[in-house]
Structure 1
Amino acid sequence: MRRIVPALLMLALLMLMLAGCGERAADPVAAPQASPPPTSPPAASVSVPRRPSVTVSTDAGDEAGLNWTPPALVLTREQVRQARRDAAAAVRAGDLFEGPRDAIPLYLALLRLDPEDRLAQRGLARAASALLAQGERALAAAEDDSQALARAVRIAAVLRTVLPDDTRTQAYLARLDLAEQLARLNATGESQLRQGLLGEGDAPGALDSFRSALELAPGQSRARQGLAATESAFIRRAEDAARAGDFEGAARWMGFASQVRADAPTVKDAYARIEQERARQIAALRDAGVAELATPLGLKSAREKLAAALRIAAPGDPVVADLRQRIDLATHYGLFRPGQAFTDALAGGGRTPTMVVVPHGGFRMGADEDEPGATQAEQPAHYVRFDRGFAVSRHPVTVGEFRRFVQATGHRARATRRGHSMVYDERSGNFVRRSGVDWQSGYAGARVGDDMPVLHVSVRDAEAYADWLAEQTGHGYRLPSEAEFEYVLRAGTQGRYPWGNENPPPKGVANLAGGNDVSPSGRRWANAFVGYGDGWWGPAPVGTFRPNPWGLYDLGGNVSEWVTDCWHANFRRAPADGAAWFNPGCRARVVRGGAWASSPQQARAAWRSSQDSDVTSARVGFRVVRGI
C-alpha cells in the first residue's frame, strides 16, 4: 500500500503539469466582460503543480516574466499542523505566493505531502481566490503604475498554476492581456512624444499610438492624457511658429491640433493666442514703420515693415491698412496730411504765414481750343501730375507779414528804391504812376492796414521774401510755379472759372469787377460781370471772401499774383511734372489769377499774363509755397 501512494502522487503531479502547459486562447480584441465575483472553487478544481511553464501572451519575449516556479519547500508529517496554521495566517495577511512561508507555497507543499489533503485543497482554493482579488487590484492600478502591472503579470503566472481551468483565471488573463497592450501602446506614444514624433499627416507617431489604445479601451484615462499631451505639443509648435512670424506654419500645426480632439477648448484658446501674437507683431511692425517715417531716409525701411506685415496679416487688416495709408501719405506729404494747416517758427521770432497742405494729383492745365475767350498763350491744354503734395500760404502775403521781413532784413523793395508805382486814379478811372507809393500803400496809393494783401512789389521782392522764410525756417519756401498756381486755383474743378462755369459768379466767391460795384466817386466798370457785386472797389482784407474747396483764399480774385515761371508764348514743351518753366536771366515773368479789377476774360482759370520782373502795381501781389 505504501508503494501505491507515491505512484498516485507522481501521476497527479504529472497531470497538473500538463494542464498548466496548455496554450492559452487567442488575444481578445475588445475588453473582456467582468469576471464573476471570487468564490471558493470546488476542491477538485485545484491541482498540484510541478515547475509549470506559464504563457499569457503570444509574445515570446514575455514568456520569461510569466513563468512561476513555486519556492522550494519540503514538509514532514510532523510539520503539517503548523504548516496549515501558518498558511491560514498567511492568507489572512495577504502573503500568498512570493515567499516559501506564504500561503500558496505552503498549501502546495502540503498537497505534495498528501494530494488527498482536503484541508490543504480548500485552503489553496481560498488562497487562489485571495490572489485573484490581489490581481484585480493590481490590474486596476496598472494603467498608471508599471510596478502594479508587473505584479499583475506575476499573479497571472501563479493563477495559471493553481487555477488553470477556472473561468475567473481566463477572464483575468484576458484583462491582463488588454492592460499589457494598452501599456505598450501608451508607453510607445509617450516615448514618441519625448522624441517629438507627433504623428502629423501620414507620419507614424504618438497620435496613432494613443488612438490605438483608445480603440481597445475607449475612455482610458492614460491614453486620453496622451492625446491631450499630443494636442499640446501640436499647439506648442504652432505657437513657436507664430512667434517666429511663420503664421502659415502655425495654421498647419493648429490644423493637426484641431483634429486630435473634437471641439477641444484648448485649441480654441490657442487660436486666440496665435491671433493675439499676430496682432502684436503687426502692431509692432506698424509702430516701427511709423517711427521710420519720422526719419529723413526712413521711407524704404517703412515699406519693408509694411511688406513684412502684409506677409502675416489677414486680408483687410485695419492696422496694416493704417500703416499703408501712413506710408502713402509720407510718400506724398512727408509728415503732413492733406488739408493740414501749419506755420513754421522764424529763427528771429514770430511765425510764417499759415500754410495749407494741398493733395497730390493731376489736372488738365490751360484752356481748350473751344473755350470762350481762350488765347493761344493758354494752349495747348496738357496734363500735369504732382507726385507729391506741397503747402501753399492760405492767403496772399499781407502788408504786416512783409513788414516783418523788411524790418528783419532792411530790404528795400523796388517801389521804395524807385520812389513810385502804378496805382488806380479815381479822377481818371485809369491806372497811373504815382510817386511816394511802395509796399505799404494800397491800390490808390494811401497807407493801408497790415491785414491787406501787399501790393507794389516786384517778382524779385517776392522772391527775396520767400528766400528769407527759407533761411529763417530751414525749409524750402519759394514762389509757386505757374502749374502749381493753376492746380490750387482749380482745386479739383475743371470749369472755365475757378468756381465752375457760372457767369456771373456765385455771391461772395471772389473780389472781381462786378457790374454792381461802384467806386467812391460813383464810377462803374466798363467790362464787368453783369449782375455781380462784391461790395469792394479795390482789394479787400485777405480772407474776406469764402475759401476754395482746399481751404485757400483769394486765388480767383482780390489780387493777381506773381509765379516763378518765365513767360512763354504757349505751353508747348511745358513741364508735365508741375515744375517751374524757368530760364535764368529772363525778364518777362508770369502773373496769374483774377484781381479786384479783373474783367470776366481775366478771371478765367486759364488766364495768364506777362509782366516785366521790375513791374510793381496796385493789382499784383504774391503768395508762397513750401515743399513738404
Structure 2
Amino acid sequence: MRARLPDIAPAGSPATAPRTFLRAALAIAVLLAACSGEPDPATTPARDPDASAEGQAGPIISIRSDPETSAVPAWRAPDVPVDAGNLAQRKQEAAAALEADELFGEADDAIPLYLALREHAPADADVATGLERALGAVLQHGDAALAAIDDDRAALRRAQEIAAVAREVAPEREAVVEYLARVERADAAQQANRSGERALNARKIVVAGGKGAVAHFREALRLRPGDARAMQGLAAAESALIRQAELAANQDDYAAAEDWLAKAAKVRPDMDTAADARERIARQRASRVGNLRDLGLAALTREDLDAARRHLATLLRIAPAGDPAAVELRRQIELASHYGLFRPGQAFTEALDRGGRGPEMVVIPHGAFRMGAADDEADARDSERPSRNIRFDRGLAVSRNEITVGEFRRFVTATGYEARATRRGHSTVYDERSGSLVRRSGVDWRSDYAGKPAGDQLPVVHVSAQDAAAYAEWLSEQTGHEYRLPSEAEFEYMLRAGSQSRFPWGDGAPPAGAGNFTGALDESPGGRHWRNAFKGYGDDAWGPARVGSYSANAYRLHDLAGNVSEWVADCWHDSYRRAPVDGQAWINPGCADKVVRGGSWASSPEQTRSAWRLGSDRDTTNARVGFRVVRQI
C-alpha cells in the first residue's frame, strides 16, 4: 500500500501516523499539585514569597519528554528516473499520487515525482501546476499539524518534517517562508513550555529577570496565543503559589499567606482562582480565630487559666486588630472566677422534679453597660433617663427564648394554677376588622394574638406580671435553683448585648432576619399594613412568631427586641433617679404597676429602641406581652 500524508486527527482522537512519521508520540501530562506531587503541609514549611522555594519535597508537576525533540534532518527527494520514454507515464503517476494525497513518503509519491519531472522538463506547465498543488497540499497538512499541537504532542514533529519538505521544494516561496515562521514560533513556544515546567518543579515560579516559570509560560503564549500547555502551566504555577499560601496559613502565618496570594493573583488576573483561595483562607482564619476563642472558653470551664491565656496569645497573634473573638476571650479570662462551673454562652436545661425539663437557658457574661437613653437619642423620654452605668458582678443564665405556650401549659397542668385572664374570662386581642386591640371574652394564655388556639411553640401571651412570677417560682421549686423574672437593668443589658446604639443592631432599620418587628413590608391576613413601621423591612409575620424564628443576638438570645414585649420584676418609676446602681430590681412592696420592656410584633420603631420602657398595671393581659426567666448562677 502506497504511503501518503495522513489527515490530522480531530481533538481527542489519535492521528494515523504515515510511513514518513513512524515515531512514538509522547504527551506531556501536567498535573496540578492537588493531583500529583503535592507537598505535605505537615512537613513542608511555608517559604518566603520572594524566594525560589527550592529544595521542597516532591515535584509540583509530572513531566514526560516531548516526542522526537532532536533536530529534524533535511529532507532529500528520492531519485526518480525520468526520460522521454517514461515522461507521460511519470506525469500520470504524479497526478494519481497527488489525487490520492500520497505526497512525499516514497519515491512514487507526488512531490518526488514532480521534482524529478521538473528537472527533466522545466518548462512543462502541467508539471509546474502539479508541483504547486502538491506543495499547497503539504502546507495544508502542516498547518493542520500545528493546529493539533494542543491535543497531540507528536504533531509538532510532523509539522517540522513537513517544513523540511517545503524548504527543499520552494524555500523562497512566500507561503513556505510564512509556514516555516509558524513552525519556528511553535517550536520556540514548546521550548518555553519545557523551560517553564523545569522552573516550576525547581520552585522558581516568579523570579526576577524573567527566568521563572510564569515568565516562560507567558513567553510561550506570546509566541503561540492560546497554547494549552502554557495555560496549563500558568494554572499549575498559580496553584503552587496558592499552596504556599495555604501552608503559611496552616502555620498561622497569615501575613506570609497574603504575600503568596498577591503573587498568585498576578499569574492569571482574569481568573477568580486566587480570589477564591483568599476567601478560603479568610474563612480558615476566621474559623481558626473562632476555634481558639472556643478553646479558651473551654479551658475556663476547667478553671485552667494558663491554657486559656495560651490560646489568647495565639489568637492575638493571628487575628486582625480588634477582632471581637480576642476581645471576648480576654474579657472572659479576666472574669472567669465570676462564673463558677458555668461558662459564657453555655446552654443548658435543668430536670424538673416531676419529670421533663425546664426552658433552655444561656449563660450571658457579666460586665458593665450604660443603661437608659443617651441625652441626644431620638424619641427618648424622661422616664428613660438619667442614663447610668451598671455593673454585674456575676454572670446570669437567661432563657434563650420567651416562655412558650407549651412550657406554661406544663406549669398549669402540674399545679392547677389559674392565670389572671382565665379567672376573669377575657383579655385584649388584635381585631383584624378594626385593626385595633380590643377586649374579647374567653381568651387566656391558651390563645394567640387574635384569640384563636395558640400553638405550643408560640410565646405565651395574655399573662399578667403575677402569672409570670408564679411560673418562675414553680421552676425554682422544681429545680432547686433560683428562677425569677429579670430586673429591668438585666433585661436592657441582655437586650443591648454589648451595643449602645439606639436599637440593638445599630441606628437604622433592622437587618434582614433580625426579628419580628413592625415592618413596612408586613401585611396582615386581611391586607393591612402598619402606618408607623421600619421602612423596607419585612419579617413574614403578623402577630407573634414561633420562638427562635429569627437571628439570635450576641448573647445567643432570641426575640428580646421583638416578637412580644416582656414583663420584668421592677415596679414602675417615672425615671431612674435613685434607682439601684447594682442592677437589682427596683421593687416597692405592694406596687400596682410593673415594667414592660422590649418591643413586640406590634410596637412602633420608637418602642423598639433598646432604652424603651413602659409602666403597666401588673394585672394587665394582652396579645403583645409575654415574659422570659433568668436563673442565678
Task: State the TM-score, normalized to the length of structure 1.
Answer: 0.49
TM-score when normalising by structure 2:
0.48
Compare the two structures and name the one with the higher helix fraction: 1
Q: Which has the larger radius of gyration?
A: 1
